[in-house]
Amino acid sequence: MRADARRNRQRILDTAYDVLATEGVGVPIDEIASRAGVGAGTVYRHFPTKESLIEAVVLDRIHAMTAKARSGIDFAEFFAHMVEAALANRAVADALTDGGYQVPADADAALHAAFAELLQLAQGARTIRPDITPDDLQALVVGCVATARHRGDIDLVRIVIAGLRP
């Protein structure tokens, strides 16, 4: 893919993410194209259907989260980032659930492995309890997201992270 085509594709993905997160999946592709500063044909060349665009947005965000987990970020900061990202991704997550879309297993496994590695490093540094597992963390993220949606804040994240410390 040419450099300008890669830039256009990424601009479309970033714009689609923002639009889906704030306005939901009802926004037409033509509107996403306009906001991205490209023609509708450019969007359709990269993503022939709205479903393929939504899937690509989710996959792009999972890859970004995986890279962030492997960037040397502090465990507590990454945990909070995961909760915030899940909150921002609600429209996209709902689209996946309602549309029956699946996150590719390899991308999901890569994110899970990166989070597990980050946990292992934190446990090795004795900043996180040794009895916590990646599955525990996944459940805690889901719980924090559900609570934040209900209460309208992410204060619980601070409490959970304090409880993870030795």
Q: Are 47 and 34 in contact (CB under 8 A)?
A: no
- Across the range 61-88, mean pLDDT stands at 89
Tell me which of 149 and 29 has the higher pLDDT: 29
SS (H, E, C) 18-66: HHHHHHCCCCCHHHHHHHHCCCHHHHHHHCCCHHHHHHHHHHHHHHHHH
Buried b (16+ CB within 10 A) or exposed e, 30-43: eebbeebebeeebb
Q: Which two tokens stand for residue 113?
A: 């492995």
In the block, residue with structure tokens 């659930």: 97
pLDDT, residue 93, reads 61
Q: Quick one: pLDDT at residue 92?
A: 57
Q: Is the pTM of this model over 0.75?
A: yes
The band of 153, judged by pLDDT with boundaries at 50, 70 and 90, is confident
Q: Over range 126-152, report the average pLDDT.
A: 90
Tokens 């665009």, residue located: 53
Side chain identity at residue 27, one-letter code: V
